[in-house]
Structure 1
């Protein structure tokens, strides 16, 4: 059986992912979030980094994660 690559996320999927990752960013700054949970969140973002950077919402994501 030939390997079939997973399809790229649709715009709707990317929007959903970006909302999820923005929630992760908020949780990272919350002192009540356990370190293990923070680690798992960042691992997921890292595993999906290509989807994050190719998303139309990437600039908004950067605005939220980079403090001014």
Structure 2
């Protein structure tokens, strides 16, 4: 992420945070949630996003499975 107003540089971050807000933040009542509870929900979502989410552009594999398939992860 570089300077303000450089949308090509920020596109990946903007896309991720937009998806995160749509998936876990909007549509819920967070009024009774503690900071620890919110952090747990956020951590769970990020783990799902990185480890179990299926992407068609990655040959219908999760990002971790795809990296293993390419021999880039153990």
Larger RCO (CA under 8 A, 6+ residues apart)? 1
- Bin the TM-score by the shorter chain: 0.3 to 0.5
Q: Which has the larger radius of gyration?
A: 2
TM-score by length of 1: 0.33
